């Protein structure tokens, strides 16, 4: 087996491993793993073009999938780079949540978590949540940490329901989702977590839950609940589901 084939296999294995541990590892470690994937890719491309003969069909078949792997893994960093140099990424790539809004969201979730204030924050994605929005209290205001945190202050009229966010706008508050009827859900999970799982089972929405008992942060998406995650892991979820 040629050295280039060994490098290609190692790159695929590293890319798969990096994707699998994305939500469970520290943000800096995850980005370091992605950097290693890119370094391997650059090394492979350099070897291909530096070693005669020039590209043949077999080599092309090996290289083309690598390009797609790298593009998928670094598209968030690529979009941020374009934004830094003044290119509006919305014209090139789908972007649901802006970087500044993401920072406001993290600030609010951190505030709520530290004070053990229960919260349910749902992001609409491709599947519309209009049926739930219609019956909720309409807000339609830019997402800020102050607005989001204030909504969930205990004893206020809207603190019990969920907030629905579209892109960079808080659309409504005080909406209620049907709880999941999955019998495998642990008994200790409360109504917020069950509602978050429920909406993730009938839509592609991503929901952030802050527990009022523990202050723990959880995320529900695609019928799956990831409990007690770090802020770094929450950032990774936002990048994966709302900035791709």
Query: Is residue 43 domain-shared with residue 61, that is, in the same domain?
Result: yes
Of 29, 57, 90, the residue that ends a domain is 90
Pairs from 105-110 (Cβ < 8 Å, separation ≥ 24):
105/143, 105/145, 105/148, 105/208, 105/238, 106/231, 106/234, 106/235, 107/145, 108/145, 108/146, 108/148, 108/149, 109/208, 109/210, 109/217, 109/231, 109/234, 110/231
> Higher confidence at residue 227 or residue 64?
227
Query: Is residue 114 domain-shared with residue 209, that is, in the same domain?
Result: yes
Q: Is the pLDDT of residue 239 over 80?
A: yes
Query: Is residue 232 domain-shared with residue 112, that is, in the same domain?
Result: yes
In the numeric block, which tokens belong to residue 115?
């004070």
In angstroms, rounded to a whole number, what is the distance separating the alpha carbons of residues 149 and 209?
Answer: 13
Query: Is residue 136 domain-shared with residue 232, that is, in the same domain?
Result: yes
Q: Please give the residue range of the domain that contains residue 212.
A: 99-242
Of 90, 109, 127, the residue that ends a domain is 90
Least-confidence region, from 81-85, 112-116, 169-173:
81-85
Query: Is residue 111 domain-shared with residue 230, that is, in the same domain?
Result: yes
For the residues 72-100, what does the mean pLDDT come to?
Answer: 59
Q: Is the pLDDT of residue 243 over 60?
A: yes
pLDDT given at position 45: 82
What pLDDT digit, counting tens, does each position of 176-200 carry?
998 998 888 888 898 999 999 999 9
pLDDT given at position 80: 54
Q: Is the pLDDT of residue 3 over 60?
A: yes
What pLDDT digit, counting tens, does each position of 129-163 carry?
998 998 899 999 999 999 999 999 998 888 889 99
In angstroms, rounded to a whole number, what is the distance separating the alpha carbons of residues 213 and 193?
Answer: 12
Q: Is the pLDDT of residue 85 over 70?
A: no
Query: Is residue 39 domain-shared with residue 146, that is, in the same domain?
Result: no
Kindly report whether the global pTM for this prediction surpasses the value 0.95: no
Query: Is residue 115 domain-shared with residue 52, that is, in the same domain?
Result: no
Query: Is residue 159 domain-shared with residue 186, that is, in the same domain?
Result: yes
pLDDT given at position 215: 94
**CATH code for the domain of 154:** 3.40.1700.10
What pLDDT digit, counting tens, does each position of 30-50 carry?
778 888 888 888 888 887 777
For the residues 216-238, what does the mean pLDDT come to?
Answer: 91
Of 228, 225, 198, 200, the C-alpha closest to 213 is 228
Q: Is the pLDDT of residue 107 over 90?
A: yes
Domain count, the chain: 2
pLDDT given at position 149: 95
């Amino acid at each position: 087996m040629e050295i280039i084939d060994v490098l290609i296999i190692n790159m695929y294995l590293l890319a798969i491993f990096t994707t699998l541990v994305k939500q469970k590892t520290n943000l800096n470690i995850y980005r370091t793993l992605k950097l290693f994937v890119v370094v391997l890719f650059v090394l492979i491309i350099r070897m291909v073009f530096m070693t005669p003969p020039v590209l043949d069909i077999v080599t092309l078949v090996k290289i083309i999938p690598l390009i797609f792997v790298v593009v998928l893994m670094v598209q968030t960093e690529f979009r941020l780079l374009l934004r830094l140099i003044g290119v509006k990424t919305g014209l090139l790539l789908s972007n649901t949540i802006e970087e500044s809004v993401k920072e406001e969201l993290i600030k609010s979730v951190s505030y709520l978590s530290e004070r053990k204030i229960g919260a349910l924050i749902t992001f609409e994605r491709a599947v519309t949540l209009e049926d739930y929005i219609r019956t909720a209290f309409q807000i339609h205001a830019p997402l800020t940490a102050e607005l989001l945190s204030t909504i969930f202050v205990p004893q206020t009229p809207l603190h019990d329901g969920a907030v629905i966010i579209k892109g960079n706008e808080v659309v409504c508050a005080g909406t209620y989702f049907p709880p999941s009827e999955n019998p495998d859900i642990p008994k200790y999970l409360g109504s917020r977590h069950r509602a978050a799982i429920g909406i993730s089972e009938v839509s592609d929405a991503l929901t952030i839950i802050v527990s009022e008992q523990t202050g723990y942060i959880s995320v529900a998406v695609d019928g799956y609940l990831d409990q007690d995650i770090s802020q770094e892991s929450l950032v990774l979820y936002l990048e994966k589901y709302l900035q791709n």
